[in-house]
Amino acid sequence: MISRFFRRRINAIVHEIRFNFWPYLFVLPALLILGSFLIYPALSAFRMSFFDWQLLGDSEFVGLDNYLRFWELPNVKTAIFNTLQYTLLNVPGTLFASLFIAILLNQEIRGRAWFRVLFYLPVISSDVAVSLLWKWIYWAGERGLLNNVIGLLGFAPQDWLGDPDLAMPMVVLLTIWKGVGINMLIFLAGLQAIPRDLYESAQVDGASIWGQFRYVTWPLLRPVTLVVALLLTISSLQVFTPIFVMTGGGPANHTLTIAFYIYNTAFRNGLYGFAAAISYILFGFILALTIIQRRIFRDVSF
């Protein structure tokens, strides 16, 4: 019974490949690359998460130990807390900044294309290069670029990345600047899908600019907003590069995030099993979040 089921499945697959040979051939290179550099490592990390993994020598099978005991690792709670803090700042921050800019750039203004390019430029810049650049902007003391600017306004220089209360918001500010471009683009697409006659009839009914936004733009943008929020949440939970380049998790672990913590656990502390387990917990968390947001998204009427 079961074997017949499988035989039928296999026959179906063979049939499928025979009749769609060329398309499958064309996706094969991408499939091979993704398979060896994405899927295979991900699966072997899953296996690793059940072992006290040794680079050389025998790895000991520990069952669910890494999943049940990761809580005992030092700083892991700090990393979770900081990541949530980062997410709570970054998601609304980037979302509203992108929406605002998208609305501005949706108007008939001079040099509109140029502005769109300018806002998009940070997106295609290298994360590492941009982080280094911002590290200099945030440089403490009177020589820092930002300190120079606020100095002109009469404020005292700040230790932007060295002050425990400022460090994380400053990292978020960089990611907002970096992320605005791509999300602005998504919002622009959403804005242009809104029929113009809705605005015309709103104007006829005497709606103000705010009224038009509140009762036309915002509700019609809701699906787009949800997509942006979802993408932002996923990327926020995985933030790594700016932390790695700018703060090293400091000062005093105030910018230690989960992704950076996983990196430390594996590549600095050699606890590969724990690192793999935390990665999968993070994966599960993101997956759950995605499913929930998809549910909400599905219930939205267009």
Partner 1 sequence: MNTKRSITYLFTLVLLLVLAINGASLAQNQVTITFQQPWSLDSDRGRVVQSLIDDFMAANPDIVVEIRDTGVNNEVFVTEVLSGDAADVVMFGEDGVVLFAPQDAFLDLSDFVADWDESKRNDFYESVWGFGTFEERQYGIPWIAHSMALIYNRTMFEEAGLDPDAPPTTWEELYSYAEQLTSGEQYGYGLVGLQGHDMAWSWYNFVRQNGGTLATQDGDDWSVALNSPEALEALEFYIRLRDVAPPETTTTGGGEANTLFVQGRVAMYVLGPWAVAGINNEAPDIEVGVAPLPYSMVPATTAGAGLLTVPRTTQNPEAAWRLIDFLTEVENQVKLVSTGFAFRIPTRQSAVQDEWFQEHPEYIPFVEGLSYGYSPIVLDIAREWSVVHNEVVQAELSRAFIGEVSPAEALQSMENSGNLLLNR
Contact positions toward partner 1, by CB under 8 A?
Answer: 54-57, 72-75, 135, 138-144, 157, 159, 161-164, 246-253, 256, 264, 268-271
Q: Give CA separation, 272 vs 240, 246, 286, 290, in Å.
A: 18, 25, 21, 27
In whole angstroms, the minimum distance from the beta carbon of 72 to partner 1 comes to 8
Q: Give CA separation, 74 vs 71, 153, 202, 216, in Å.
A: 8, 42, 57, 50
**Neighbouring C-beta atoms of residue 162, cutoff 10 Å:** 15
Between 187 and 261, name the residue whose CB sits nearer to partner 1: 261
Distance between CA atoms of residues 89 and 170, nearest Å? 10
Between 134 and 187, name the residue whose CB sits nearer to partner 1: 134
- Tokens, residue 88: 């709570």
In this structure, the chain runs to a length of 302
CA nearest to 98, candidates 289, 240, 228 = 228
In whole angstroms, the minimum distance from the beta carbon of 282 to partner 1 comes to 18
In whole angstroms, the minimum distance from the beta carbon of 165 to partner 1 comes to 10
User: Is the separation of the CB atoms in 285 and 237 below 8 Å?
Assistant: yes
In whole angstroms, the minimum distance from the beta carbon of 176 to partner 1 comes to 20
Between 1 and 56, name the residue whose CB sits nearer to partner 1: 56
Between 55 and 113, name the residue whose CB sits nearer to partner 1: 55
In whole angstroms, the minimum distance from the beta carbon of 246 to partner 1 comes to 8
Between 217 and 255, name the residue whose CB sits nearer to partner 1: 255
